[in-house]
Amino acid sequence: MQIMKKQQHLSLVLSIGLVLLLSSCLAIKKYEKPTAKTDNLYRTDFIHDNAFDGLDTNSIASISWKNFFTDNLLQGYIQNALDNNIDIRIAIQNIEAAESYVKQSKSGFLPSLSTDLGYTFSKTSGNSRFGALTFNQFQLGASAAWEADIWGKIKSQQRATYAQYLQSIEAHKAVKTGLIAAVAKTYYQLVAISAQIEIAQRSVSTRDSSLETTIALKNAGQLTEVAVKQSESQLYEAKIILLNLQKQEKYLENTFCLLLNEQPHTITRNTIETQVFNSPLSIGIPAQLLANRPDVLQAEYFFMQTFELSNLARTNFYPSFMITASGGSQSMELEKWFSASSLFANLAAGITQPIFNRRQIKTAYEVAQTQQQKAVLGYQYAILSAGVDVSNALIDYRTQTEAIALEQSKFEANQIAFTISNQLLQNGLATYLEVLTAQQNVLSSELNVINAKLGQLNAVVNLYTSLGGGWR
């Protein structure tokens, strides 16, 4: 009979364990990465430039910024920014905070333990049932509680916390990528404005000489006072252009110093002619954006977090199994506090099943489901946005490359027009206004050549970061 009873007890335990195991499988779902379409994610129908390698598994995003940017001064500035920039340091602090939460979540399976040491003095009313009584109570105790993670509640919370930590990692990468892009673009602006200042200074010098020539021709009776004033106006205009460029240069230097977390100072830089990229502009395949873009990965990990929080909300529908224990020494007399008769102990185990709590659990679960669906949409939008960024960068690069050739041709044409108009003026076949107009066109087109080159440099930076490069 005893053997049969033991077998019955064992069967009951196994049955209960099997039911709990099956229920646990139903309570939480296994994480699955959200689906995303990457076919034709960005436009390549307009790519006919030899600078691009086409669609293959090679991508400039896999190149470290130290190898992608070849300017030695720019490399040093980027490193300084990564070491000192405030946004980068804040992102690192966010990672450390997330790590603390991960460590905390790992201890979720351990029991809680607390101790208490207390003294109580009580005096009852003289008009009470037992009359006036006075007594002391001394207590030293400890209590512990442990919840069995039958339904995966603690595990889901742990995974959600880890997903949040991964988000902080990707956020740091995104800040790093954005910082590198900002440093490179601002540096290229400084390089370009140096070239434009040099052009403006040459123009001021040329127009100053031209004004002296005009005055001499006016004194010789070959030109009128109108020509002199027009020449003066052209000189003042060139000086205004130079003044504005110099002001913009100081603003850019101040902005650049802010990126480096330094006080404003002069920034040393190389020339625009030395700004080249040795790496072929390989754009890889669209699917690689899912692994390279920090913002896409951040959106994916946010979905992972909401998925696990949805699992956590689902477990609240199931009963919780809790074991509690307490013990210690309690006495009304100090000298008997630590005697054997003053010891006490309690052990309790219980199952709590929510039945009616004003719809709080169901509402929390529905909200968690809604947050999960929003995270899916955010992930899909992040991928589409990444595709648009790459497409725009490709279009911008091609446009700026063509613009350089056109602006250079325009500049050369204006130079020729200026030379011919001067010759015609000397032979009385052109007015001085035509010469001044041609001279103004030369300055404008030469400045535009620099702007086009700057646009191409920025387009390369945008392409590099839009593909997910920069954080390596």
* Closest CA relative to residue 327, chosen from 154, 131, 115: 115
Question: Look-up: residue for tokens 């040093």?
Answer: 76
Residue 357 lies in a domain: no
51 and 19 together in one domain = no
Q: Is 343 helix (H, G, I), strand (E, B) or coil?
A: strand
202 and 54 together in one domain = yes
Please report, for residues 422, 423, 425, 434, the alpha-carbon distance to residue 428 in angstroms, rounded to integers and kept in the order given.
Answer: 10, 9, 5, 12
Q: Is 360 helix (H, G, I), strand (E, B) or coil?
A: helix
25 and 37 together in one domain = no
Least confident stretch, 17-21, 246-250, 310-314, 421-425: 17-21
67 and 213 together in one domain = yes
Residue scoring higher pLDDT (429 or 229): 229
Tell me what pLDDT residue 128 has: 63
Least confident stretch, 8-12, 213-217, 284-288, 360-364: 8-12
First and final C-alpha spacing in the chain: 72
Residue 352 lies in a domain: no
The average confidence (pLDDT) of the chain is 80
Q: Is 349 helix (H, G, I), strand (E, B) or coil?
A: strand
Please report, for residues 16, 24, 181, 315, the alpha-carbon distance to residue 20 in angstroms, rounded to integers and kept in the order given.
Answer: 6, 6, 54, 13
Residue 131 lies in a domain: no
200 and 263 together in one domain = yes
Q: Into how many domains does the chain fold?
A: 2
Residue 44 lies in a domain: yes
Widest distance between CA atoms in the chain? 138
241 and 277 together in one domain = yes
72 and 162 together in one domain = yes
Determine the average pLDDT of the residues in 404-408: 89
213 and 314 together in one domain = yes
Residue 100 lies in a domain: yes
Order of strands across the sheet that contains 343-352: 112-123, 134-148, 320-331, 343-352
Question: What is the CB neighbour count within 10 angstroms for residue 399?
Answer: 15
pLDDT tens for 321-375 read 778 888 778 777 777 777 777 777 787 777 777 766 767 888 888 888 888 889 8
Full domain range(s) for residue 306: 33-111+151-318+372-466
Tell me what pLDDT residue 9 has: 44
pTM: 0.81
Which CATH number does the domain housing residue 225 bear?
A: 1.20.1600.10
434 and 398 together in one domain = yes
37 and 173 together in one domain = yes
238 and 253 together in one domain = yes
